[in-house]
Amino acid sequence: MDRTTESFFKLFPSQIHTQGPIGLALELRSRVAPAEIASLRIHTYRTALRSAATEPQKWNPQTRETADHSIPCLVAAAFHGGAITPDSFTSDRIQDPALCPLIAKMTIVEDPDFTRRFPQEANCRMEVTTVSGQRFVAETVYPKGHQRNPLQDAEVDAKFRHLSHAVLPEAQCRTALDLLWSFEHVPNLRALFASLVL
């Protein structure tokens, strides 16, 4: 069996179980501003809850290593910043006081049905109620990057470019991408490694 077809290629630079909540936050952000939110409830599977939302430090992260494994922090950062990138994890961004009010309005719960369906599915549902009483709901079964909802080639390209732009010149980045996309036809790895040398 080819295990590569079972791979989850993360869209966001954070723990695997945070991918669904981040995607839903970005989706709902286009419909409701953080200041309008009265409550935010996230339903997820047990593994996600335990690994990214049960420990006290996940609700008030002080380091990148905790923040990128924190559903509350990442959801608040997605609503406020409109993206989750490596820049989302600077000390100033992690400890941004603007995140605290939204984190305080969050509840994260296990949905037993989602737990039963994991790992074949990575379900998450986000329910937002606004101060005016409006209700917005978004749900995913297969977050972007899941083997059942894979990234498109252009999204993989964009992720590589975003992560490498600070260290690789554009021409070198393009060469590396060309070699990576034709990896099975590359006679040896020297050219690929050379394209990645700073």
Q: What does the pLDDT average to over 143-156?
A: 95
CA 8, CA 143: separation in Å to the nearest integer?
A: 9
Query: Considering just the CA atoms, what is the radius of gyration of the chain in Å?
Result: 19
pTM for the predicted model, two decimal places: 0.92
- Residue 2: band (very low, low, confident or very high) from pLDDT cuts 50, 70, 90: low
CA 163, CA 143: separation in Å to the nearest integer?
A: 21
Structure tokens at 94: 């992690």
Q: Decide: residue 105, CB within 10 A, 0-12 exposed, 13-18 middle, 19+ buried.
A: middle
Q: Is the dihedral of CA 71, 20, 86, 79 positive or negative?
A: negative
Question: In this structure, which topology does domain 3-140 adopt according to CATH?
Answer: 60s Ribosomal Protein L30; Chain: A; (3.30.1330)
What letters, b where the CB count within 10 A reaches 16 and e where it falls short, cover 76-90? Answer: bbbbbbeebeeebbe
DSSP 127: E
Domain(s) labelled CATH 3.30.1330.120 in the chain stretch across 3-140
CA 26, CA 24: separation in Å to the nearest integer?
A: 5
Lowest mean pLDDT among 2-11, 114-123, 187-196: 2-11
- Residue 3: band (very low, low, confident or very high) from pLDDT cuts 50, 70, 90: confident
145: left (phi over 0), alpha (psi -120 to 50) or beta: left
- Residue 5: band (very low, low, confident or very high) from pLDDT cuts 50, 70, 90: confident
What is the per-residue pLDDT across 51-92, written as a single tens digit (0 to 9) for each? 999 999 999 999 999 999 999 999 999 999 999 999 999 999
